[in-house]
Amino acid sequence: MVEVTVTPQSSLADRPVQVKVRGLSPSQLVTLRASLTDERGHRFQSRTFFRADGAGEVDPGHHAALGGSYTGVWPMGPFWFLQPDTLFQRLIKRDVAGSPFLVRLEVFGGLSLATSPQDQPLASCEAERWYVGPGVQRVPIREGKVRGALFLPP
């Protein structure tokens, strides 16, 4: 049974996570897709091709991507190389304290350049990427022409 995991499943957006795919056949070609929808409904995704190792595993931190959104060994590549489906959109988190970005990771067999709704992934999981840690207080700043926010630790 194929399984994709993100460890830790919930983390701050500037902290590294480990992505692993297990249960593949040795040397199997797969596509790892990461996707999220921002608060305005715009979708961002990365799509990367890997060849499983002899144990049937893929780890972007140890195995080089063969192509897609990036090539080479990038542990955080599925997250760092997210691109908008619609041109000229920027990935911006507006509600930094109230909710995380939910990044869905899916594994498809073979080299998948595009997927249709009926294409079923071999495995999938979801990662929470928070922008403010637990207990952090956000204080709006308005002083003259200065606008901003102060984030105070617990």
Do residues 44 and 78 lie in contact, with contact meaning Cβ atoms separated by under 8 Å?
no
Indicate the number of domains in the chain: 1
Lowest mean pLDDT among 106-115, 119-128, 135-144: 106-115
pLDDT of residue 21: 98
Residue 125 or 116, more confident: 125
The amino acid that residue 117 corresponds to is P
pLDDT of residue 65: 97
Q: What is the pTM of this model?
A: 0.89
Structure tokens at 6: 């993100």
The residue count for the chain? 154
**Residue-wise pLDDT tens digits, 68-123:** 999 999 999 999 999 999 999 999 998 888 899 999 999 999 998 876 777 899 99
| Residues whose CB falls within 8 Å of the CB of residue 46, separated by 6 or more in sequence, listed in order | 33, 34, 35, 68, 69, 70, 77, 78, 79, 80, 81, 82, 83
CATH number at residue 43: 2.60.40.2240
Range of the domain at 80: 3-152
- Find out whether the peptide bond into 8 is cis, omega within 30 degrees of 0: yes
SS3 131: coil
H-helix or E-strand spanning residue 141: strand 137-143
pLDDT of residue 80: 96
Name the β-bridge partners of 101: 129
